[in-house]
Structure formats: structure tokens, C-alpha cells
Structure 1
Amino acid sequence: MPRAEVPPDQRVLTFFAILTDWDKCLWAVDASSGRERWRVRTDGLVRSTPVVADGMVLFGSNDGFFRAVDAVSGASRWQVRVGTGVRSSPTVLGDLVYVGSDDGVLWALHTASGQVRWQLKTLSGLWSSPVVADGILYVGSADRHLWAVDAASGQVRWKLPAGTWVKSTPTVADGLVYFGTGDGYLWAVDAVSGERRWSREVGVWVRWAPVVADGTLYVGTNDGRMWALDAVSGEERWQADTGSPVFSTPAVADGVLYFGLQNGRLLAVRA
């Protein structure tokens, strides 16, 4: 039986960035064949993870621009200068996209036009990516605070001093916000009030976002350890020495924990 051809504009695309000094592109690759569909060149490294919404790909670059391009063709829809550079990955809620800049500004832009809804200046760079839950946006800053901001208005709900910079992207689960800090601590705070529930030393720099699954919190550290903690109390359930810095946010599926290492290995362990 002849194989039916899927129209090109309906095929699944994979979007990714090539992080080299000379490339500075966002690429779109056909997921079934690996063939390039299009690429968008910028004037800086593309370090943030793109997000797809409303037929567009939204992403930032180290050239200071945040861009929206057509998901099928790669044609430019709009671009907005948001600062000196962008390594924070965007998140979308409704008709707004949120992203942080290297010079410490949190932006809320209309996805359709790039028009600014609001902006909030923190005291240092935003390398953490914003996360939205129940109308509140959470983001860590190099100004040593975790910020909680009303997603609609940009008004600050609270900001929590963490003692050192917060580059880890927060995770929200069951009314708690979890995040890591540059001095090797993992925190759990109340999502509404910002009150600290617990904090625990897990080694050195917590760079990646933790993940919660079935009451267990998983997080990797820069000294090569993967930790499993009770999400409510912070008590250790187990830890594993991987032999290389953990270089990704973990993912859990069907009782298996997946994560990448700086040495290029992908590990799968029983959660």
C-alpha cells in the first residue's frame, strides 16, 4: 500500500538552538526525517529554550532581542529589544509571554504583537526562567531573591531573600515553590506567602530546576549528585553519585528518572 504523504505544513517540527560562537541560529528540523526546514539567524548566541504558541516560535538571543517567528516558515512576526541579552526561557499564559533579561528586567509581552503589557526591574540578571501557577509568576534572580509577581499586573506579591543568586528555575507543586541556589541549597517555600517551609544543603551549585513526582522531589547538582527528597519535609530518600555534573532538569515517566550529564551521557534510573 502506498505511504500517504503528510502535507509539509502539518508535519511535526523540532525546534532547537545550536550554541556555538559562530552559529547564532534557531533551527527548525523535520522530526521524521531530520531535514532542515528553516533557520533564523540572530546576532547573538541562542541560549534560551524556545516555546511554541499560537503558530509561532518565541525565543530570546544574546543580542538583546526577543523574537516571534512563524512556526511553519520561520518568517519574522515581531521582535522587541528587551535588554543586553536573554538566556531565560520564556513561558506563555493566555495571550502573554513572559521572559527575563540579563540586565534584570522581567517582561510581559502580548504574544500576537510583542506589545509590552508590563515590565519589572529586579536588581540583577534574570537567568532563571519564569514559571506561572495560579496567576502568580515566580522567577529567581542574581540579586539573591526569589520573586513572586502578579502575572496580570506585574505587581510584586513578595520577594524572598535567598542569601545568594538564584539561577535555578522554580518548580511549583502542591502549594509549594521549590528552587535551588548558588551555595548548594534547595528551598521549599509557601507559594502564596513566600514563607520558608524547609531548606536543605545538597552540595554545590543547584543550576537546574527540580521536579516533583509522587511526593518525591528530584534535583541534580554541579558536583554530580542526583538527590531524591521528600517533597513535604525535605528529608533525604536517596542520593546517587553520577561521576559528572548533572546538566539537565530531570524528567520522570513510568517510574523511571531521566537526566543528562555534562560528560554527554543520558542516565535512566528507577525513581
Structure 2
Amino acid sequence: MKTLNILTTFLLCSLTAAAQDKAPQPTVKWKFQANSAIMASPVVSDGAVYFGSLDSSFYALDVNTGSQKWKFETRGQIRSTAAIHNNKLIFVSGDGLLYCLDKTTGKTTWTFKTGGEKLYPLYSFADYYQSSPQIKDGRVYFGSGDGNVYAVNEADGTLIWKYTTGDIVHAAPALDGDMLFAGSFDGYVYALNNITGALVWKFKSVGQRYFPKGEMQGNPMVFNGKVFVGSRDYNFYALDEKKGYAIWNRQFPRGWAMAPPVIKDSVLYVGTSDDMEMHAMDPETGRDKWKINVKFNIFGGNAFSGQNMYFGTLIGKMLALDYKTGNIKWTFLTDAYLSKRLNYFKEDDSRRDDFIEIMTKPNGQWLSMLALGSVFSTPAVVGNYLIFTTMDGKAYCLSMPA
């Protein structure tokens, strides 16, 4: 019976791979090479693609050709995904400034100085992002490495209010009505009045033996009276939006679920890190409708087009799934994956025998992400184009199959 089960599994995997091989595949429209790794997600507006890089530069590219329109230099790494509104492009930099640029020219409109940016000192290698600003009703909201959540005036960058948490705030805040929700590395989710900055409630994560503080690193998302957020304590939480109590939580066996959660057709989609799975959940209960193991960590969010869902993994792959079934339609292999994967993995993408030894060398995990072109970004869909960024400093634009 065991032999039969193994044979059946092998045949199913072979059929799945064969189906992918026969399915129409994306083609590369263009590629752009920055001077360092890119963790921020691309944002597309009026024919241009915008993103920041760890080379301290912010880039604007032509969406059709990938040619550079302009480049803006800051004095710190940019791990923040920009917000765009009223021709303003706003993002956080590692130099401790919130920048507002004219999106057409790349010239500075205003800057706001925080108390300073920093990486989480307990394990800085896994503090991947800076907060990504959110804009509403003339106000810009964002978190900072100084532990504050800020609201500043969209027109001129003047401070409206700030709220001080107990640690770094690198998640993007979520807005709903007059409420703002932000996670902090002190292990709390804070619900604030977004007009005044007053505290409405706060929720403390459970914690876990490896991460006892239960740092709230994931971006919160609001849907149907619930706040969804992932923590370093391996839990994914659904909180009551008004009162802040846990409606349900789901603890994953092997690691975090901190990819930005997304709702599509009243289904909750959550990617996981060490469990290496994409889950389609009932948002009311947290129970799976389907899940699929994609064999490597997921940190970026999902994009949708038609019946397809797109997301990347840290091994340097971009996947297209049927979002209703979880069936893989195609897989795009980045340049870095094709050229460097055998430095870490075998032909079937299983770990080499010396994988642990390689990864535990100084900066081993970080160097592997640079080498493999890990995808930390959430892709952008624009017409027939799928645009994403990678840790080897590339931006890709794929022409998707019909």
C-alpha cells in the first residue's frame, strides 16, 4: 500500500508538471537592473513604474520599455513601498525621512523628519521592510523605526499627530473609517482614531518560545469588521475591529504568516514563510478552503487578474495560480534562480546536503537571498503586464499569456 501511495503521488506530480509545461507561459517584456537589492513593491501610475532600492535610490521607469525616467537619491536604504496621490509620491527611507516627490519630475515637494530609522536589533536580518505610507483625506499615515505612528499633512508634510508604541513600527498601517490599525515590534496591535491619534484599543500577541514578544511585523488588513494580522509568534490573528479581542487565531507549525493578507471574493489569502504554503481561508473561521505547498518561503503579497493570482517566493520564482482552486498555471524562473540555485539546492530544488552549513555562515541567509533573487515584493498587474522586483536588484515586466 505504501508503494502504491508513493507511485500515485509521483504520477500526480508528474501530471501537474506536464500540465504546467503545456500551459501558455509568460514572456519577458523588459528587465531593469538597479545598483542593489530591491525589497519594496513596484507601484504603477500614469505609464510609469516606481520603486525604491537598498542602493538608497528611488526609480521611475517607463512601464512599456523599462527605460529610466528619473532617479532620486536619498541617504538611506529604501525598503518602503510608495503611496501615490495627487501627483505626489511618498515613501520612507532609512535616513529617517519621509519623502514626498513630484511623481512626474522626481523633484522634492517636502520631507518630514522622524526620530530616526533602524533595524530591529534582536535579529536585524529578518526586519525586511520599512513602513509603507497610507493616504486618506489629506493625511499621510506611516510607522517608523523610532517606535512612532505618524500622521502628517499631505500638502506640506507638517505633523498632525504622533502616537508612541513600545518598539519599532515597520508594518504599513491599515485604515477603515476613522480608525487606524498598526502593529509594533512590542507585540501589540494598536487601534487609533486616525483624526486625533487617540488610542481606542490595543491587542497583545500570545508570543512563542523563539519569539516571546510576538512582534507584530505583518501588515494589518481590515475586512467585514475584522482586523487580520500576522505575528512573529507563528500566529495569524483575526481581531474584532471595534473591541480588539481575538475572534480566532491560527498558529502555523513552522513559522510566520506575515505576507500581506488579501481578500478576494470574500476569501482570505495568506502566504506563509517556513511552512511554504499559500492558504485560501474562510475569513470568518480561519479554516482552509484550499492550500498548496510551493516549496519555498512567501513574504510578498498577491496580485489578481481574471481568475489568476500571482505571487513570488524567496527562491526566485513567480507563480500564477487559479485563485479558486490553488492549481498552478505557470511558474516563471528569474535569472538569479537559473544561475545560482545549484549553489544551495539540488536539481529538484531540495536542499543540498551542506545547506545548513552554508546558511549558518556569517550573513548566510542574507547572502542567499541576494544570490537567488528572492521576491519580497507584491507584484503589480497593469493590463497584460506583471511587474515585480527581486533581491538581485532587478525589476521584471512579464507579458502574461492570454
In 1, the alpha carbon distance for the partners of 2:76 and 2:32 equals 19
Residue equivalent to 1:125: 117
Gaps of 5+ in 1: 1-31
Structure of greater Rg: 2
Q: Does 2:238 match 1:228? A: yes
Residue equivalent to 1:177: 180
Residue equivalent to 1:83: 75
Q: 1:269 aligns with which of 281, 285, 296?
A: 281
Equivalent position amino acid for 2:248 in 1: W
- Please report the TM-score for the alignment, with normalisation by the length of structure 1: 0.86
Q: Does 2:45 match 1:44? A: no
Kept in 2: contact 1:223–1:246 (CA 8 A): no
Residue equivalent to 2:256: 245
Q: Does 2:47 match 1:55? A: yes
In 1, the alpha carbon distance for the partners of 2:170 and 2:145 equals 7
Residue equivalent to 1:134: 137
In 2, the alpha carbon distance for the partners of 1:254 and 1:85 equals 36
What secondary structure does 1:153 align onto? coil
> Structure with the greater relative contact order (CA < 8 A, sep ≥ 6): 1 or 2?
2
What secondary structure does 1:207 align onto? coil
* Cα deviations by residue, 1:143-192 (Å, 9 ceiling, x for unpaired): 01001000111010011111211011100102100000002100000001
More strand by share: 1
In 2, the alpha carbon distance for the partners of 1:112 and 1:87 equals 21
* Cα deviations by residue, 1:219-250 (Å, 9 ceiling, x for unpaired): 11112111111101102211111222113011
Equivalent position amino acid for 1:238 in 2: W
In 2, the alpha carbon distance for the partners of 1:235 and 1:227 equals 10
More helix by share: 2
Kept in 1: contact 2:219–2:258 (CA 8 A): no
In 1, the alpha carbon distance for the partners of 2:133 and 2:249 equals 28
What is the aligned residue count? 240
- Please report the TM-score for the alignment, with normalisation by the length of structure 2: 0.58
What secondary structure does 2:141 align onto? strand
Q: Structure 1 stretch 255-264 or stretch 157-166: which is displaced more?
A: 255-264
Runs of at least 4 residues off by over 4 Å:
none
Equivalent position amino acid for 2:79 in 1: R
In 1, the alpha carbon distance for the partners of 2:56 and 2:142 equals 19
Equivalent position amino acid for 1:71 in 2: V
In 2, the alpha carbon distance for the partners of 1:193 and 1:150 equals 13
In 2, the alpha carbon distance for the partners of 1:234 and 1:39 equals 44
Residue equivalent to 1:114: 106
Gaps of 5+ in 2: 1-23, 119-129, 207-213, 284-402
| Identical-residue share of aligned pairs (%) | 29
Kept in 2: contact 1:145–1:162 (CA 8 A): yes
In 1, the alpha carbon distance for the partners of 2:190 and 2:88 equals 28
Residue equivalent to 1:27: none
Equivalent position amino acid for 2:98 in 1: L
Residue equivalent to 1:167: 170
Residue equivalent to 2:121: none
Deviation at 1:254, TM superposition (A): 2.6
In 2, the alpha carbon distance for the partners of 1:155 and 1:183 equals 27
Equivalent position amino acid for 1:200 in 2: F
